[in-house]
């Protein structure tokens, strides 16, 4: 059982990579398959951390791996969605997509510059954004269009990337599972913080 969190994480990695060639091949029923992959990814993302904490194996290594593979998974699904819906996402929404990518890269740059480690805050804002992103990807895979939901995803994505960068600028020492900027400030002052037993390590 102690290996189950790793199994879920690596399955998510495999699906995130496999979905790209499926989109390129334009296989029949691609949206349904992509939605199944996306649903598994979201559920497994919650379960791997929860199970790891329940089994007492939620180590820094696991949390870092989980965070990195989350990025790969959603990047894979995102790229597959762009391939599936080029008219909307490339011709109409190229700029906001590029800005989101740049914002994501900058958060990693801040973390690597300060601590030589990748992003693994698992912040509350990032978790909320993941849910909104999930809903937007569902809408895009089904209709290749998105209005208000896409705008919310874009702005919330920028705000949460800024928050993550701020967390790593505030922290004196790199750590995982920092729910908010306020919690980062408490850690900087040497004060203990309370993490939710379900959502944070």
- Express each pLDDT in 82-136 by its tens digit: 999 999 999 999 999 999 999 999 999 999 999 999 999 999 999 999 999 999 9
Q: Same structural domain for residues 157 and 66?
A: no
Please report how the helices 60-84 and 4-25 are oriented relative to each other, as an axis angle in degrees rounded to 10: 20
Which of the listed residues 59, 84, 109 is the one where a domain comes to its end? 84
- Give the CA radius of gyration of the chain: 17
Which of the listed residues 62, 84, 106 is the one where a domain comes to its end? 84
Q: What is the pTM of this model?
A: 0.91
- Express each pLDDT in 46-91 by its tens digit: 888 888 888 888 888 998 999 999 999 999 999 999 999 999 999 9
Q: Would you state the pLDDT for residue 173? A: 95
Four-point Cα dihedral 11, 12, 15, 20, nearest 10: -150
Which of the listed residues 57, 84, 111 is the one where a domain comes to its end? 84
Q: Same structural domain for residues 59 and 149?
A: no
pLDDT averaged over every residue in the chain? 93
Given a contact cutoff of 8 angstroms between Cβ atoms, the answer to whether 84 and 137 are in contact is: no
Q: Is residue 201 part of a domain?
A: no
Residue 189 DSSP code: T
Cα–Cα distance between 131 and 70 in angstroms, integer? 13
Q: What is the DSSP string of 133-169?
A: HHHHHHHHHHHS--SHHHHHHHHHHHHHHHHHHHHHH
Q: Would you state the pLDDT for residue 196? A: 66
- Indicate if the pLDDT at residue 200 is higher than 80: no
Helices (H), the chain: 4-25, 30-55, 60-84, 86-89, 94-115, 124-143, 148-170, 181-188
Report the domain count for the chain: 2
Q: Would you state the pLDDT for residue 91? A: 95
Q: Same structural domain for residues 122 and 168?
A: yes
Note down the domain range covering 49: 1-84
Q: Same structural domain for residues 173 and 148?
A: yes
Q: Same structural domain for residues 11 and 96?
A: no
Q: Is residue 56 part of a domain?
A: yes
Q: Same structural domain for residues 134 and 58?
A: no
Q: Same structural domain for residues 63 and 122?
A: no
């Amino acid at each position: 059982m102690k290996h189950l969190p790793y199994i879920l994480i690596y399955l998510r990695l495999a699906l995130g990579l496999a979905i790209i060639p499926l989109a390129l091949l334009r296989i029949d029923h691609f949206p349904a398959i992509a939605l199944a992959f996306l649903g598994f990814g979201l559920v497994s993302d919650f379960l791997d951390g929860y199970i790891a904490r329940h089994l007492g194996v939620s180590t820094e290594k696991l949390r870092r791996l989980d965070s990195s593979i989350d990025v790969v998974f959603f990047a894979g699904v995102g790229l597959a969605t762009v391939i599936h819906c080029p008219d909307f996402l490339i011709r109409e929404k190229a700029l906001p997509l590029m800005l989101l990518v740049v914002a994501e890269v900058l958060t990693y740059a801040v973390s690597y510059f300060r601590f030589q480690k990748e992003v693994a805050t698992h912040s509350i804002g990032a978790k909320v954004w993941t849910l909104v992103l999930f809903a937007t990807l569902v809408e895009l895979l089904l209709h290749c269009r998105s209005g208000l939901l896409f705008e919310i995803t874009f702005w919330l994505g920028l705000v949460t990337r800024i928050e993550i960068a701020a967390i790593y600028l505030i922290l004196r020492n790199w750590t995982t599972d920092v729910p908010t900027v306020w919690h980062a400030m408490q850690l900087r002052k040497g004060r203990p913080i309370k993490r939710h037993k379900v959502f944070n390590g």
